[in-house]
Amino acid sequence: MEQNEYKQIYGFVIDSLKKNYSAPTVSLWFEPMKIVKLNNSSITVSLPQNRKAFVEAQYYQQLKQTFAEVLGTEVELVLVSEEEEAEMISETQNENVSGIKSEYKMRYNPEYTFKNFVVGKSNQLAQAVSLAVANHPAELNNPLFLYGNSGLGKTHLLFAIINHIRENHPDYKILYVTGEEFTNELIESLAQKKPMTFREKYRNLDVLLIDDIQFIAGKMSVQEEFFHTFDTLFKLNKQIILASDRAPSLINNLEERLHSRFMMGMIADIQPPDKELRMAIFRRKAIDYGVDLKMDVLLYLAENITTNIRQIEGSLKKLKAHTLITGEECTLPVAKAVLSDFFATAKNDETIVDRIFESASKRYGVTKEDIKSTKRNAEIAMARHYSMFLIRQTTNLSLNSIAKLFNKKDHSTVINSIGFIERKMKAEPAFEREIEQTVQELKN
């Protein structure tokens, strides 16, 4: 098996670990590891020497279990240090093909193109205007604003535009960042008192793409800087492309002048795909992933993955890993056995979240919309703490996914809310009993 496949599988393990461990734990202990060998009975993972003893003592069981879940079969887990790994692979040393920095590699994702973007009713307009911009940057449709729910192909289209422009204009300066990266970079440049370096970088471009631009809403200095970046590029007749998880008018706490600039060029939304389009997309993805999908398996996937196309990637990885390891063919029964937990968990979480919102609105006399809003009155805030705590206790959702349910940008609010409820439980035994009882009810 190839390094790339190992990486894919390990990536999936990381995703899964993120649900149970905090981001710092994952990046400190798990991300430095990699799979070096995999066969149907054992998996060998390497990690830095100085981390090995601790991981073995602290995380071995959980790690093994996560591998079993991802691979859909029990395997022996062997941890080796990087030195030991070097000895193991001394014969075949053809890794590290290029000297490209990993950050750059990730940014330049040649796999997302117009060619492998499947078009249907729900994404037709977004695809067409993206292609038009790719063919004629800064001539029509400036800025281009794409929006739609998570996992519907916005980032794919942004990369398709980049790849297309790169081909026609190899000399163009193109920059892709997320709203979060833009924010962090700006803050860092201010802290280091180097705002000019930041400005030089962002105002000296032919094409600027900012993904998940909604992230900058509510942050005054970031919106201010972005406004000037936007105006400078726009006046120089440079192409600006933005993607967001919602329409400009629905982005809370967005400055009016930014709102009006977002609306100035071309706006296109992406809606969830119908079943026919889902099947076409999944068929295409299966080819990319080298998985042979029979019609009945394809149908099964299309029935179970409905709102977030990204889930197809996880599903295919799981199927691929399973077939590679066991040598079994990917028939419908095999696919069901491998994926049913994966789908069931997702569905189950959705139902529980609904029930929690219902319980919170009754208990605190507020609406579900209030809970998800940014309003701050006492009842609403309590209902929010209560809901976040219960969701964390009873579902597999990561802190970040929970934050998203409440339209929060990162997990810190969730952590604060959980802390709040924990303290209240300690202080008030009656409240503690009530919460514990609710958790039990929700779990059944």
Residues contributing to the site for ligand ADP (CB under 6 A): 112, 116-118, 123, 148, 150-156, 281, 284, 309-310, 313
Q: Which does 118 bind (CB under 5 to 8 A by kind): ligand ADP, Mg ion, none?
A: ligand ADP
Is the previous residue joined to 32 through a cis bond, with omega within 30 degrees of 0? no
Is residue 183 a contact point for Mg ion (CB under 5 A)? no
**Residue 242 Cβ vs ligand ADP, minimum distance, rounded to whole Å:** 12
The residue range among 152-160, 200-208, 374-382, 392-400 that interacts with Mg ion, by the rule CB under 5 A, is 152-160
Is residue 244 a contact point for Mg ion (CB under 5 A)? no
Is residue 130 a contact point for Mg ion (CB under 5 A)? no
15: three-class secondary structure by DSSP: helix
Quick one: 63 or 209, whose CB is closer to ligand ADP? 209
Separation of alpha carbons 131 and 157, rounded Å: 9
Kindly provide the residue ranges of all beta strands, DSSP E only, lying in 83-167, ordered along the sequence: 144-148
Percent of the chain as helix, strand, coil, to the nearest 5? 65, 10, 30
DSSP type of residue 212: S
46: part of which helix (H) or strand (E)? strand 42-47
Quick one: 215 or 230, whose CB is closer to Mg ion? 215
**Residue 118 Cβ vs ligand ADP, minimum distance, rounded to whole Å:** 4
Tally DSSP H helices, then E strands, for the chain.
20, 8
The residue range among 131-139, 149-157, 339-347, 375-383 that interacts with Mg ion, by the rule CB under 5 A, is 149-157
CA nearest neighbour of 293 among 330, 322, 324:
330
Quick one: 158 or 371, whose CB is closer to Mg ion? 158
**Residue 264 Cβ vs ligand ADP, minimum distance, rounded to whole Å:** 22
* 87 Cβ contact list (under 8 Å, min separation 6): none
Q: Which does 251 bind (CB under 5 to 8 A by kind): Mg ion, ligand ADP, none?
A: none
Quick one: 152 or 213, whose CB is closer to ligand ADP? 152
Quick one: 210 or 286, whose CB is closer to Mg ion? 210
Quick one: 271 or 345, whose CB is closer to ligand ADP? 271
Strands 239-244 and 76-81: unpaired
Separation of alpha carbons 6 and 12, rounded Å: 10
Is residue 398 a contact point for Mg ion (CB under 5 A)? no
For residue 28, CA distances in Å to 25, 50, 51, 143, 257 come to: 5, 12, 9, 39, 41
Buried b (16+ CB within 10 A) or exposed e, 11-30: ebbbbbbbbebeeeebeebb
Q: Which long-range contacts (CB under 8 A, 24 or more apart) does 369-375 make?
A: 371/406, 372/405, 372/406, 372/407, 373/407, 374/252, 374/253, 374/407
**Residue 152 Cβ vs ligand ADP, minimum distance, rounded to whole Å:** 4
Quick one: 117 or 198, whose CB is closer to ligand ADP? 117
Is residue 214 a contact point for Mg ion (CB under 5 A)? no
DSSP H helices in 89-123: 102-107
Is residue 123 a contact point for Mg ion (CB under 5 A)? no
Quick one: 153 or 248, whose CB is closer to ligand ADP? 153
By beta-carbon distance, which residue lies closest to ligand ADP?
A: 153
**Residue 182 Cβ vs Mg ion, minimum distance, rounded to whole Å:** 14
The residue range among 132-140, 146-154, 216-224, 297-305 that interacts with Mg ion, by the rule CB under 5 A, is 146-154
Report the residue from 155, 304, 394, 395 that binds Mg ion according to the rule CB under 5 A. Answer: 155
Quick one: 159 or 226, whose CB is closer to ligand ADP? 159
- Residues counted in the chain: 444
Quick one: 154 or 261, whose CB is closer to Mg ion? 154
**Residue 316 Cβ vs ligand ADP, minimum distance, rounded to whole Å:** 10
**Residue 228 Cβ vs Mg ion, minimum distance, rounded to whole Å:** 25
Q: Which does 338 bind (CB under 5 to 8 A by kind): Mg ion, ligand ADP, none?
A: none
Quick one: 154 or 408, whose CB is closer to Mg ion? 154
**Residue 192 Cβ vs ligand ADP, minimum distance, rounded to whole Å:** 31
Separation of alpha carbons 244 and 258, rounded Å: 13
**Residue 23 Cβ vs ligand ADP, minimum distance, rounded to whole Å:** 19
Separation of alpha carbons 52 and 409, rounded Å: 34
Q: Which does 152 bind (CB under 5 to 8 A by kind): Mg ion, ligand ADP, none?
A: ligand ADP
Whether residue 185 contacts residue 215, with contact meaning beta carbons closer than 8 Å, is answered with no
**Residue 435 Cβ vs ligand ADP, minimum distance, rounded to whole Å:** 34
Separation of alpha carbons 201 and 53, rounded Å: 43
* 410 Cβ contact list (under 8 Å, min separation 6): 400, 403
Residue 103 φ then ψ, to 5°: -60, -45
Separation of alpha carbons 382 and 373, rounded Å: 13
Q: Which positions touch Mg ion (CB under 5 A)?
A: 154-155
